[in-house]
Amino acid sequence: MRLKISLLKEPKHQELVSCVGWTTAEELYSCSDDHQIVKWNLLTSETSQIVKLPDDIYPIDLHWFPKSLGVKKQTQAESFVLTSSDGKFHLISKLGRVEKSVEAHCGAVLAGRWNYEGTALVTVGEDGQIKIWSKTGMLRSTLAQQGTPVYSVAWGPDSEKVLYTAGKQLIIKPLQPNAKVLQWKAHDGIILKVDWNSVNDLILSAGEDCKYKVWDSYGRPLYSSQPHEHPITSVAWAPDGELFAVGSFHTLRLCDKTGWSYALEKPNTGSVVNIAWSIDGTQIAGACGNRHVVFAHVVEQCWEWKNFQVTLTKRRTMQVRNVLNDAVDLLEFRDRVIKASLNYAHLVVSTSLQCYVFSTKNWNTPLIFDLKEGTVSLILQAERHFLLVDGGGIYLYSYEGRFISSPKFPGMRTDILNAQTVSLSNDTIAIKDKADEKIIFLFETSTGKPLGDGKLLSHKNEILEIALDQKGLTNDRKIAFIDKNRDLYITSVKRFGKEEQIVKLGTMVHTLAWNDTCNILCGLQDTRFTVWYYPNTVYVDRDILPKTLYERDASEFSKNPHIVSFVGNQVTIRRADGSLIHISISPYPAILHEYVSSSKWEDAVRLCRFVKEQTMWACLAAMAVANRDMTTAEIAYAAIGEIDKVQYINSIKDLPSKESKMAHILMFSGNIQEAEMVLLQAGLVYQAIQININLYNWERALELAVKYKTHVDTVLAYRQKFLETFGKQETNKRYLQYAEGLQIDWEKIKAKIEMEITKERERSSSSQPSKNFGLKY
């Protein structure tokens, strides 16, 4: 990826250009110390003077009023705020009419920023004051006051906090009066510029110490650049939070959100004092000290999938290369390319007006449809369909171009969604809520309606990243997520009435990815790279989960690596310095998943015997229990030396009825309540009481006996025997109450138990053979 620079031979301004701002993706306004506001049209390459300001107004900062979120047709901003050296800020219309001038600060007003909703304006000045104003320019409050000039300011993503500079310090101050203020030393020189992105919640800062730095919203350092030759005069995030631009003397740099640099350009610009990204995130404009306005287009982005590599060579041209046979195809587009995604044998490209869908089998005939709103900010793909996110909403399309659904929820803000907060599978869409970060919304892809009974997935901590598995049945769909403690959890997305269990899979997990062809999960866990070959093991037999993992040392990936993709048996990881590392994992677990999904149990056993690895046998054991195939489970457990479990499986085989077998398999997986329910529904009350006795669940055993008026003496007899073994006296009031005046006759009890077992056998032999709960022996 690099920047394609364009610079006019002769400047249009007579003095230093102080600030720039985009109205649309093709139109820019620039202000200069020559008091002129000039409009640039990039389609026609024309410039025109909008207005000449009075001679006492020297503009310093410009910010366009934000577009109304979610309101269509308003494709461009209509007015902007201009701060100036005379201590005023001016509200100016698009046509150049000064609607209002407001006395704001003593000395120059150094920066002014609208919040994301357009309901408030923050200004900072040489007098060290930070002031909040209403939309019409009425003073609401003076947020803070200090003894040094404030050079730059930025709103937090929720418009509830303000970030500003104080010499070498950065300060985050909430608007609530008594909330905690966060302050830290960020640079060794005066900080000149800050920016805070609403999508990734990361902070950029640039200073006179010739460095730029990336911080999280808690003030923790994520990246610090090497010192440059000159002070860094400007920084700006791209709208989607994936890139940022840095400006200095004769320098323009394009960087990834983690800090490493994609490209360094050295245009003849003087100091780049202000940078603005276009609304679609494809180009930047810089206000230059030598009277020029520099334009730079982001080109040569690269997308890879299996043997295909797609590169954006020009604004409207892509090159596709098949590395197997070196075949090259050129894709031409009518408008400039904004976003693209390559996965699941399809390339999806959004331009400013249309969406193109290419199949990797045929690059010549794309499917084309018009977009509802121009600027697509995110494309996600699944095997059967893909998701587009723009300012107006979330839209799901099939690869044939058919519109499927558009999920909605209260307070939805599509401008802050990214690949970490939205996930797509063949039947489910998951979206993390921004208002309450402990909640995940789940939708059906076919209808766009909430999944199951409409309950939200709620967690005890804030969630950072979510990912849906890609294969298997809808009822088995799982979602993995990382919370703010960096713990990895997994849970089922189908939620009907009962509360689904959220189970912890790992700790200190920084990044995760599901495989595209089978439900294998990988993650970077502290100093280890971990692959969960069968994450479902936590629901089946938690004890053998460590035996189903593959782990290797991750120190070679350096600090803060990120998993880019997990395709086939290859994991691609990007290190903090931007380099890509490819890791191959064993192909056998994926083959095992395939055999099990097709119920080829004999082939699965044969594969495990061939590979001779404990992880394979452990995965097969868990898969067999999950699919109720106890014969295969017995072989697999024997292979990993779990003799107690082999004996338990053998004891299950001898049980007289299918219901009893089913209940004991559920108990094997730890689902005791479900096991009891199966027995009670089948009328096997004694067996339900007996499993509670076996588990020493005395309260529940007596409760069932009393409720169904049967075997109260059996429960009391076993309780008495249990207490005698440990030499204890009965203290439970309920047991004392029912034991009063009751003589325990073991002969009678044994006869009753024999009768229950005989009854169960007779019932089983006369019952319909079809009702077998899917058990296989």
First to last CA, the chain: 58
Handedness of CA 599, 601, 603, 608 (dihedral sign): positive
**Cα dihedral: 199, 340, 563, 440 (round 10):** 50
Residue 180: pLDDT band by 50, 70, 90 thresholds? very high
CA distance 437 to 419: 15
Task: Find the mean pLDDT for residues 725-741.
Answer: 83
Element holding 134 (H helix, E strand): strand 129-134
3-state secondary structure of 502: coil
Instruction: List Cα–Cα distances, 530 to 17, 276, 516, 707, in angstroms.
Output: 52, 41, 17, 49
pLDDT of residue 56: 87
Q: Are 233 and 192 in contact (CB under 8 A)?
A: yes
In the structure, what pLDDT confidence band is assigned to residue 422 with cuts at 50, 70 and 90?
Answer: very high
Q: Which residue's structure tokens are 């990797």?
A: 360
Of the candidates 122, 127, 91, the residue with the CA atom closest to the CA atom of residue 106: 127
d(CA 743, CA 392): 76
- Tell me the pLDDT band of 107, cut-offs 50, 70 and 90: very high
Strand ordering across the sheet containing 403-405: 376-381, 385-390, 393-398, 403-405
- Do the Cβ atoms of 612 and 620 come closer than 8 Å? no
> What pLDDT does 499 receive?
59
The angle subtended at Cα 575 by Cα 570 and Cα 576, nearest 5°, is 160
Tokens standing for residue 139 = 């003073």
Tokens of 543: 């004890």
Instruction: Please tell me the distance from the alpha carbon of residue 59 to that of residue 21, in angstroms, as a whole number.
Output: 13
> In which residue are the tokens 């960096």 written?
486
User: Which one-letter amino acid corresponds to residue 38?
Assistant: V
What residue type is assigned to position 14 of the chain?
Answer: Q
Sign for the pseudo-dihedral over CA of 72, 76, 79, 80: positive
Percent of all residues in the chain with a pLDDT value above 90, rounded to a whole number: 59
Q: What CA–CA distance (Å, rounded) separates 109 from 131? A: 11
Flag whether pLDDT at 768 surpasses 60: no
Read off the tokens for 670: 């730890």
What would the two tokens of residue 159 be? 């418009």
| Predicted confidence (pLDDT) per residue in 198-252, tens digit | 988 999 999 999 999 999 999 999 999 999 999 999 999 999 899 999 999 999 9
Q: Quote the pLDDT of residue 73.
A: 41
User: What per-residue confidence (pLDDT) applies to 76?
Assistant: 57
Query: In percent, how much of the chain has pLDDT > 70?
Result: 96
Nearest to 251 by CA among 230, 278, 223: 230
Query: How do 169-174 and 191-196 pair as beta strands?
Result: unpaired
Is residue 177 within 8 Å of 183, Cβ to Cβ? Answer: no
In angstroms, the CA 641 to CA 637 distance is 6
Distance (Å, rounded) from C-alpha 60 to C-alpha 112?
9
The residues, any chain, with a CB within 8 Å of residue 618's CB and separated by 6 or more, are 537, 544, 547, 548, 636, 640
What is the pLDDT at residue 576?
85
What residue spans of 572-654 are helical by DSSP H? Answer: 588-597, 601-611, 614-626, 630-639, 643-653
In eight-state DSSP terms, residue 518 is S
Element of type H or E holding 756: helix 746-766
pLDDT digits 0-9 by tens, 3-37? 999 888 888 899 999 999 999 888 999 999 999 99
| Section 273-288 average pLDDT | 93
The lowest-confidence range among 164-173, 526-535, 744-753 is 744-753
Q: What is the mean pLDDT of residues 67-92?
A: 75
DSSP letter at 544 equals G
| Average pLDDT score over residue span 685-710 | 84
User: pLDDT tens digits, residue range 432-491?
Assistant: 988 888 999 999 999 989 887 777 888 999 999 999 999 888 888 899 999 999 999 999
**Amino acid at site 205:** S
Mean pLDDT of the chain: 88
Whole-angstrom Cα distance, residue 290 to residue 769? 88
- Check residue 68 and give its pLDDT: 58
Asked whether the predicted pLDDT for residue 547 surpasses 60, the reply is yes
Predicted local confidence at residue 495, as pLDDT? 64
Specify the pLDDT at position 476.
84
Q: Which tens digit of pLDDT belongs to each residue from 48-57?
A: 999 898 888 8
What is the reported pTM?
0.86
pLDDT at residue 74, rounded to an integer: 47
Q: Which two tokens stand for residue 391?
A: 């300012």
Comparing CA positions, the residue from 218, 196, 241 lying closest to residue 419 is: 241
- Secondary structure element (H or E) that encloses residue 99, with its range: strand 98-103
Distance CA 286, CA 302 (A): 25
Q: Which two tokens stand for residue 554?
A: 């991750």
- Six token digits for residue 621: 């054991």
What pLDDT band is residue 508 in, cutting at 50, 70 and 90? very high
Q: Is the pLDDT of residue 764 over 70?
A: no
Question: Sorting pLDDT into bands at 50, 70 and 90, what band is 763?
Answer: confident
Pair of tokens at residue 489: 């959890």
Dump pLDDT digits (tens) for 558-613.
Answer: 888 899 999 999 999 998 888 999 999 999 999 999 999 999 999 999 999 999 99
Residue 239's identity, in one-letter code, is: P
